[in-house]
Structure 1
Amino acid sequence: MDTRKLKVLILCSGNSARSQMAEAFLRHLAGDRFKVMSAGTEPASTINPYAIEAMNEIGIDISTQCPKDLSLYLGQIFINYLIIVCSKANDSCPRVWPGLANQNNRLYWPVDDPAEATGSDKEKLAAFRKARNEIKEKLEAWLATNP
């Protein structure tokens, strides 16, 4: 691992959709600048298939990623940025993050949970597309004004 890269941890509750999409986007958009990781406060067993499909539509494959537990990172490694993409994770993780270089780098970007969408497959996939696009917009805006 290149130790000069800034470390970014992206956090949500299940680590099966939003944080996985954000991890892949940040790698895709600026992977040369960051070591990107994601985790969940209550990780699921697999990546949500709608998240995989929504990302595949834009040419990013997340099918080999897997949910990881927050305990792998919390207080275990030094990180430069913590990006929290869900309110449940924001409510359950520490306000002062052990190992975070600057507590001002604890960013909260809530994105509605697409896994809560109901209806047909088409309607559920639409919710994942919406979340995907929102995450991409937030990351692009952040990258335009940050490291």
Structure 2
Amino acid sequence: MKKYKVLFLCHHNSARSIMAQALASMHLSNKFEGFSAGLTPGNSLNPFAVELINELNYQGEELKSKSMDVYSAPDAPKMDFVISLSDKVGGEDAPVWPGSPVTAHWDFPDPALTQCNSNMKIKAAYVSLFNGLQNRIDILAAISFDRLDKIRLQDELNAIHQNLL
């Protein structure tokens, strides 16, 4: 069975896209090879995101914050899907991806911007994000990619976000 390459993009590549990479790579369907990158990558991964990923017993590619330029290089893997996880409400710009992958935007607020002094409430924001990503990746995995042309596949990917608003 073909493994579909999915690139998840967000602003800093320290939590949202990193968690999505791990969730896609570890998905029970075994349909995906997850990748992640950021518009302006951070220096380190968010510890709350790392804690949740460790609970998955993630065994894939080393997770680290990196620029989306890594995946636009000529020798980079060719992506089947590029999914932006930026927060349009929070004013983050969703990057435009060149080439011909199927693209989508899944609007997730940055949990790092949680205004609270309680670690328990901050962690709850990361758990909520983690569960939301898992839900959308589950829906994505349920799509029969081989039965759809690119236009219909694009519609299905867009519907994942629309149906969960």
TM-score, length of structure 2 as denominator length? 0.73
Aligned to 1:136: 134
Q: 1:28 to 1:120 in 2, by over 3 A?
A: same
* Number of corresponding residues: 139
Task: State how far apart, in whole Å, the 2-side matches of 1:132 and 1:92 are.
Answer: 20
Task: State how far apart, in whole Å, the 1-side matches of 2:41 and 2:121 are.
Answer: 24
Is 1:17–1:51's contact at 8 Å kept on the other side of the alignment? yes
TM alignment of 1:48-127, pairs within 5 A: 48-60=46-58, 64-74=62-72, 76=74, 77=76, 78-87=78-87, 91-94=93-96, 97-101=97-101, 105-117=102-114, 118-127=116-125
**Residue deviations 1:62-118 (CA, integer Å, cap 9, x gap):** 9x5100101111354431100111136972522xx32333xxx11110111111112
Q: CA RMSD in A?
A: 2.6
Is 2:86–2:94's contact at 8 Å kept on the other side of the alignment? no
Is 1:55–1:132's contact at 8 Å kept on the other side of the alignment? no
Q: 1:59 to 1:35 in 2, by over 3 A?
A: closer
- Secondary structure in 1 aligned to 2:66? coil
Aligned to 1:47: 45
TM-score, length of structure 1 as denominator length? 0.81
Structure 1 window deviating more from structure 2 (45-54 vs 79-88): it is 79-88
- Secondary structure in 1 aligned to 2:27? helix
**Residue deviations 1:46-71 (CA, integer Å, cap 9, x gap):** 11001112333454479x51001011
- Secondary structure in 2 aligned to 1:38? strand
5+ residue gaps, structure 2, are 146-165
- Secondary structure in 2 aligned to 1:123? helix
Task: State how far apart, in whole Å, the 2-side matches of 1:123 and 1:137 are.
Answer: 21
